[in-house]
Structure 1
Amino acid sequence: MKKYIIILTVALASFGCDDFLSPEKKQGLSADAFWQNSTHARQAVIAAYSALQAHDGSKWTFFEQMYIAATWKSDGILNAPTHYGQTIANFTNGSDEPTFSAFWKSNYTGIAYANQLIENIPDVADMDDAEKAEIVAEAKFLRAIFHFNLLVAFENIPLITSTQKSSDEFLVTQATPSAVWTQIEQDLSDAKAGMPASRSGEDVGRATSWTASAYLGKAFLFQEKFPEAVTELTDVVNNGPYDLLPNYADNFNGLGENGVESVFEIQWSADRANNNDERHPFNFEVTPGALGGWELFYPSDWLMTEMQADLTAGSTFSDRVYSSVFFNDPSSEMLDVYSGVSTPYATVQADLSHPKFFKKYTGEFDKTYYNGINVHMMRFADVLLMQAEAMNEASATNTDAAIAIVNRVRSRSNAADIALGSMTQAQLRQQIRHHERPVELAMEYTIRTFDLYRWANGTAAPEPISTVMAAHSKPFADNFVDGKHDVFPIPLEEMNKNESLNQNDGY
């Protein structure tokens, strides 16, 4: 994948030198030589997907910058006090925080690649029209996802739908959030209509029409277009190819990779053939030092309270609890990073520097030091919980039907069912917001931070994030300023480059 990024970047570079300073290239690709056939198109598509990892192709940029930016502000994360992201976790960051810059750059890099595809694919000579249409639709899907990430993270962003042709065009202004949402909906609708319904062979993991439909439902939910969200998400649930994996843990140990529960994943790989390295260090970052890890962050006390309230009918902890966290319980085990041996909590308890740890993405010991387990952007369990939430918000008469959907997710992990008729609309809202979603989707990329943003900034029972942080005993909750820390600051380096940008309030 990295070699394709290099090819595309070089091929699309343009230089204003005189001809005698630009001799004909005898090797490699020039701008004129690219965009000639389906191989080039495929390379360009892979480059666009690669921006989901990071703009510079580095696993460190993703896991020690982008992931931190998108998760450590949440009430479910407690960061280790001697590691990265201190100012993010304690809400004292300024606009010079590099994690926000990495998130901005990576998503806009993806948009740039997607726009290049949309503009150039129609003119590729050695390629049939059907394949061209599919790739343009796929590029629109990716452009929508990147804009979605930026919009929810920064709120006030430039809307970029074409490649810049001159230096002046780089001095872009910010669009209204409603204009960006309109473009996201259009791109996802086009992608839904133009992409294939399934992928096979080496294309497994690329987006499909069902992926676009699920994200369109999510876009409706974030805008509180509840009836539209119900329609879209119900179609995905009833007619799409997805289901819950029988074993919750298989979502995070590599066994369910790109499987029936996968709606969209960031692709990583332990395969190091041809000097490729698409591994990541998640196993080290969450594992306790006593098991060879770096323990960069932990589940918060509030999240652990919710986890330990997630019980089976027999009053034992559910499967998703044991698969998500490592804690003081006779049945709790975690892999040693180096040996791959599953170790009971009691065996290392005396050597632990902290009492509880996350354990997602640490499974499938493959003896490659780091691992290649894909990182979820959306799982079918998320789709079901969004469907239940949208139904409950659309009408109080839907509450029992929504409870049944929530129970489908709970039952997979052997959590006891919620009795029908036992909750009002408001009670189920709180159950979904502050138990089902944080427990089922704990520490998953962008999920909780983005959820808190939409619940704070919507009109359906809004919850100021400062109130949630205080109620959930988030350390440094007193530092959280509503209307400021809800979103990221526009990165200082972007402000310095482009005088047309306006900084978000409070920074």
Structure 2
Amino acid sequence: MKRHTSIYPMLMLASVLLISACSKSFLEVQPRGLQLESNYYQTPDQAFAALVAAYNPMGWEAGGSDNTYIDPLGPLNSASDECYAGGGGPTDMAFWQVWNTYTLTPALGPQAGFWDRNYTGIYRVNVFLSKIDGVQGLDPATKARYVAEAKFLRAYYYFWLVRLFKNIPLITHPLATEEIYKQTQAPVDSVYHQIETDLKEAIPDLPWTVNIPEEGGRATRGAAYALMGKVIMWEAGPNNNSRMLEAAAYLDSVNFSGYYHLVPNFPDIFSPDNKFNSESILEIVHTGAQNAGWGNWPNFLGNVYTQMVGPRSYSGPIYWSGGWSFNPIIPSFVDSLKGDPRYPYTVANIDSIVNAAPGRSYTAGYQNTGYFIQKYAPLAKYASTTGQPELNFPNDYIEIRLADTYLLEAEALVRGGGDLSKASMLLNAVRARVGLGNVAPTLKNIYHERMIELATEGHRWFDLVRLGWAPSVLAFKGFQAGKHELLPIPLVEMNNTQLKQNPGY
């Protein structure tokens, strides 16, 4: 009998199994999941459920030690030159507000959410890898795939951590109680080495494709190649071009694999009706099928960020009425998008819609500009009629998509002195998709294309830091060079541990 391996119901199971530990720190004496070790990992089904539990933090929308909303897009967009924090007032989602104004402290900011999400994933991976050899009845090919997925996940979680914090503990095995408070920060080169080692070991045993109805959301070989290319380019920074052609080769393995294609119609990329489309390389799964209510907090599977970026008390067509007005788009960034064919699919001009007919209205939120995020907007047709609508939007988050890897490969080829004709083809394929003509494959043009193509998708802040532009571009928000390239280590993680705070905090 074929075992059904849909990620959706298994994510629900994982959220139930781990419901009691969602606010725990990885440094706690009783880390989450520990209570399962003595009687778990005995059968193939239990091994698979444990693997899915390792995927689960990727889609966290709430929880962590602060027990609040921790979707990564909200804080990242707040920190960039694309959006303000917004919301209902200057203290609404204070963790986002202080990144928007660069007034973070070790006690206040989004850092605890990022830290908890990723170290929880790492902890679950490490337990899984320590137990998998003892599972009876698991065939060798399935076991190899599971191990590859776990190593991909560990690389993924560490890549998030090293970009945001740089100075982090490197933990590759379950910690004994006596080890927990002795952890120190590893040399950053060691972290990158572990990330690359995990990805290199994972790639051969990951499939190129998965059966979407049953396995959508699981790691693929393309996702691992793409992540490796991103890792090398981030590690290189703005000036070290020595590994650019190596990065280009990894990205090329995705871009010319034949398994991915640009979606012809740009807005279709983000539609909940078009999940796991041909452009999607790594997609974070959300679903409204759970019919979650507030009693499910924080273990709901819908995309609450969709709810958060909608207009507040809205009365009019197209959009859900009950948004929370977070991440209004900054007018100067809107100006950079105007005239581009992607503009109406990136920016929701709510003022224009409201002013177009009598009887329409919305309540202006904090830092309102009238411009809202369209890519993840809460469309009325997707608002759940069961459960709590705010918690059940089905919009997935495509964390890595083909246009991203096209433009990264183009950048790597130009920086590394590679094939400029291929760089031109990659850059202009992204432009041609929306009806724009060819431009020269210069770094200036490639970076501009990334800004427009990937707007509000969580890439901009990382690009500004990676390329060394953040101090100048984000000066209007208060960004300080040498400090704000990193988040502070969460204050709670400093208590009774060997960790040292990041510079400037």
Q: Report the TM range for the smaller structure's normalisation.
A: 0.7 to 0.9
1:442-500 deviation digits (Å, cap 9, x = unpaired)? 1113x1122122112xxxxxx3x211224xxx4x3xx22101011100111101141x1
* 1:306, distance to aligned residue in structure 2 (A): 1.6
Q: In the aligned structure 2, how far is the partner of 1:347 from the partner of 1:137? A: 55
Match of 1:394 among 409, 412, 416: 416
Gaps (5+ residues) in structure 1?
14-28, 311-317, 333-342, 457-462
* 1:61, distance to aligned residue in structure 2 (A): 6.0
Tell me the residue number matched to 1:366: 382
Query: CA separation of 1:347/1:294 partners in 2, compared to 1, >3 Å: closer, same or farther?
Result: farther
Q: In the aligned structure 1, how far is the partner of 2:44 from the partner of 2:287? A: 24
Q: More displaced, 200-209 or 275-284? A: 275-284
* 1:346, distance to aligned residue in structure 2 (A): 2.5
Match of 1:44 among 45, 50, 61: 50
Tell me the residue number matched to 1:303: 333
Q: In the aligned structure 2, how far is the partner of 1:100 from the partner of 1:189? A: 29
* SS of match in other structure, 1:299: coil
* 1:7, distance to aligned residue in structure 2 (A): 3.0
* SS of match in other structure, 1:365: helix
Q: In the aligned structure 2, how far is the partner of 1:493 from the partner of 1:295? A: 30
Tell me the residue number matched to 1:204: 216
Tell me the residue number matched to 1:21: none
* SS of match in other structure, 1:405: helix
Query: CA separation of 1:72/1:95 partners in 2, compared to 1, >3 Å: closer, same or farther?
Result: same
Aligned AA for 1:283?
Answer: T
Aligned AA for 1:466?
Answer: P
Alignment of 1:287-436 (within 5 A): 287-289=310-312, 290-291=314-315, 292=321, 293-310=323-340, 318=341, 320-327=342-349, 346-347=356-357, 353=364, 354-362=369-377, 363=379, 365-368=381-384, 369-370=389-390, 371-395=393-417, 398-414=419-435, 416-420=436-440, 428-433=442-447, 435-436=448-449
TM-score (norm 1): 0.81
* SS of match in other structure, 1:159: coil
Q: Are 2:109 and 1:109 aligned?
A: no
Aligned AA for 2:422?
Answer: A
Aligned AA for 1:408?
Answer: A
Q: Are 2:457 and 1:444 aligned?
A: yes
**CA contact under 8 A between 1:158 and 1:173: conserved in structure 2?**
yes
Q: In the aligned structure 1, how far is the partner of 2:276 from the partner of 2:68? A: 20
Q: Once superposed, what is the RMSD of the aligned Cα atoms?
A: 2.7
Query: CA separation of 1:228/1:172 partners in 2, compared to 1, >3 Å: closer, same or farther?
Result: same
Tell me the residue number matched to 1:489: 488
Alignment of 1:57-456 (within 5 A): 63-64=69-70, 66-80=72-86, 82=90, 83-84=92-93, 85-200=96-211, 201-224=213-236, 225-272=243-290, 277-289=300-312, 290-291=314-315, 292=321, 293-310=323-340, 318=341, 320-327=342-349, 346-347=356-357, 353=364, 354-362=369-377, 363=379, 365-368=381-384, 369-370=389-390, 371-395=393-417, 398-414=419-435, 416-420=436-440, 428-433=442-447, 435-445=448-458, 447-456=459-468
Tell me the residue number matched to 1:336: none
Query: CA separation of 1:389/1:62 partners in 2, compared to 1, >3 Å: closer, same or farther?
Result: farther
* 1:351, distance to aligned residue in structure 2 (A): 5.1
**CA contact under 8 A between 1:384 and 1:405: conserved in structure 2?**
yes
Aligned AA for 1:432?
Answer: I
Structure of larger gyration radius: 1
* 1:114, distance to aligned residue in structure 2 (A): 0.8
* 1:309, distance to aligned residue in structure 2 (A): 4.3
1:227-268 deviation digits (Å, cap 9, x = unpaired)? 101111112111141111122112222122112111111111
Q: In the aligned structure 1, how far is the partner of 2:208 from the partner of 2:354? A: 43
